Each structure stands twice: as C-alpha cells, then as structure tokens.
Amino acid sequence: MKRIIVPMLLAGLILAWLAAPASAAPAAQKDKKEAKPQPVKVYIPKEVKELMLAGLAAKQARMDIPFEVFKTLYLPAQQAFYNVFFLKIKNSDLGFAPAAAQVVDPDAPAALKLKATFNMFLAFFKVENDKPTTLVKEVYVPAAIEADQAGFDPAKDEWYAVGYPLMPGQYLASIAIASQDLKKIGIQYADVKLPDPKSFTVSLDTTPIFFGKEYKNLQAPETKAELHKGSFMYSVLQVTPNIDNVFSVGENLDMFFYIFGSQPKEGGKYDIEINFEVMQGDKIAVKYATGAYDSPLISLPLQMKQTLQIKKGEETRSETRDLPAGSYTLVLKITDKVSGLTCEKKVDFTVK
C-alpha cells in the first residue's frame, strides 16, 4: 500500500503565499483592535473588472471566449485551503497559432508546435447573507499553452486547472479569460465554500475526495498562480487527477483527502480507523481490511480486485479477479478513535 507524503513545508509555503504582496492579502497585525483593512492591489484591468462586476449578482456568464468551470476542489494548507478550479475550453476558442522561431531538426521527424497566448484573471468576492460583497483578492494569470501541430483538433475540448489559496470562508470566484488586446473576454463564476477546521468539534468531515493518476515531485513549489493543461500543482507536487472517476479494469483507486474533526493523541499522532467497501447497487463488490492511520491526511491506493468463490462439482476454490466493468460506489466509514466521532462518505466511479 503506497503512501504519498505531502512535505511539511507545504503549509508554510502556501500560507506565505497568502501573505505575499502579489496575493493582496492583508498584512498581519499584532493588535487586532488596531487592524485596518488593507486595499486590494490592482491586477485586473478596469475593462475586465467592470464586466465581472456587471454579471456578479446574477452570476451571469459572458461568452466572448466560451469556457466552463466544471469542477472545483480544495486541499489543506494549514489555516488556509488551496483551491483548484477545473476549466473546459475548446481549442479553437484559444487562438492557437504556429509558435514563432521554431527550430526543426532535419534528421528528426517534424514536431512543430502551436501556441495560444492569452490572459486569465481571478477575482474573489466575500459572500455575506448569500450575496457577494467585498472584493478580497484579485489575481493576474498570464497564460501560454503549447500543443503539437500533428493531430491537433480545433474542435476538441481540453481541460485546464488553476489554483489559489484562500482562508476559510464563503466566496464567489469570478474567472475571466481574455485575449491579449482585451477585445474578447469570457467570464464565468464559481461558488467557493471553505469550512473552518476549528468548527468540527462534534462531527467529522473531509475535503473533497479525489482520485489521482500520477503524482510527480518537483524541485520547487509553484509560488504564483499558473494555468496548467491536464494537471494541477500542489506545493511541490504536480498532480494528474482522474478527472471523471473512470478507470480501466486492473487500475487502482488512488485517493487523496483530509479529515476534519479528528483529535491527536498525546505526542501528536492520530488514531483513525477507516473501513472501505466497493458497492454495486446494494451488493458488496469488494470489502477491504480495516485501515489504521496516524494522520488525518490520507493518500493511498486501493486495488480493485475481488475474491470469488468458484464452485466446480463438489469442489469450491477462491479466485482473485480484477473488478469487472460497471458502475460502483466507494463507501468510506471513518472513525476517530480518540474522540469517538464518525462519518461516512461515498464516491461514485466507473470501470470500463
């Protein structure tokens, strides 16, 4: 059973990012009584911000450059959360063109590149009484995406991800994609609800559970927001998620999540128990041995194999097979043995 260890420097790095000037986060104040709101630094052009504000109350999208925010998730980062927004954009809407100054090796197969250069802007508005109010952060994300010219399909939708840390709270995110001359601007809105970890005193919960395909360790963390195609960054990890929870026969369920509300023992370690089951309808397809964990940050693979009793004549034998194609639900029953609190989570997935 594999474990992916997120470096301890993760929390400090992302928290430091929150306090950095480019994040437009308020400076820390020793005396809360004397603390004054700091002005949001301007990173979004006036013409873009005006369009964001015009559609804010009704969450009215602008489709000059069509795109969709089809998924969001958040990951732990000490007092903050690292929020990831997943976007779906058609190639033809990004203006791909041959990249300049390409050097072609005459002895190698041609591998010409196409490039799309555009701007992305993120604005986060505090939500109070179900209405967006104060603009608390604005972020500029210059984007330059490359693609191989061979096999390029202008009509294909590709997915991208961009991440940014926020403190607990409720926000409305306005996301804009704009041409470099700002003559074409597309805008979408996404709700962001981030719980206060300290509020989980009588219950357990988790961050959104996601499945990973690949995790790659990088030499240095990403310290400013960037747009990535087919993956997202999480400190020094480049994560390729299983975006639609569809697996091939024989693959593992490689999951990642954090448990809120669990309590440490003396010495700082936790005593968490998780029972995993794969259900198909009301029948158990796979039942795993109970797992014990000493941290609320859970990252592990589950093999999708089931043990069957095969009867032939008067003989019965056990046989382990890959979980066959079908629709399933992963059920997690989580118990914090220190506090006695429990919770149950379910995640649907498909095997093809």
Q: Which of 162, 205, 175, 206 is nearest to 67 (CA)?
A: 175
Is 80 exceeded by the pLDDT of residue 109? no
Tokens coding 2:
């594999």
Is 50 exceeded by the pLDDT of residue 19? no
Q: For the residues 284-303, what does the mean pLDDT come to?
A: 94
Query: What rounded mean pLDDT belongs to the chain?
Result: 88
| DSSP code of residue 336 | E
Helices (H), 180-288: none
Q: For the residues 193-204, what does the mean pLDDT come to?
A: 94
Percent of the chain with pLDDT over 70: 86
Helix/strand/coil for 34: helix
pLDDT reported for residue 264: 94
Q: Which amino acid is at 21?
A: P
Q: How far is the C-alpha of 111 from the C-alpha of 149, rounded, in Å?
A: 7
Q: For the residues 137-150, what does the mean pLDDT come to?
A: 96
pLDDT reported for residue 233: 93
Q: How confident is the model at residue 232 (pLDDT cuts 50, 70, 90)?
A: very high
pLDDT reported for residue 11: 42
By the 10 Å C-beta count (0-12 exposed, 13-18 middle, 19+ buried), 138 is classed as: buried
Is 90 exceeded by the pLDDT of residue 280? yes
Tokens coding 78:
């000490």
Q: How far is the C-alpha of 171 from the C-alpha of 195, rounded, in Å?
A: 11
Going from the C-alpha of 54 to that of each of 61, 187, 191, 217, 222, the distances in angstroms are 10, 11, 17, 41, 32
pLDDT reported for residue 38: 64
pLDDT reported for residue 36: 62
By the 10 Å C-beta count (0-12 exposed, 13-18 middle, 19+ buried), 316 is classed as: exposed
Which domains, ranges and CATH numbers included, belong to the chain?
9-241 (2.60.40.10), 247-351 (2.60.40)
pLDDT reported for residue 27: 38
Q: For the residues 142-155, what does the mean pLDDT come to?
A: 95
Q: How far is the C-alpha of 194 from the C-alpha of 83, rounded, in Å?
A: 9
H or E element that contains 19: helix 9-19
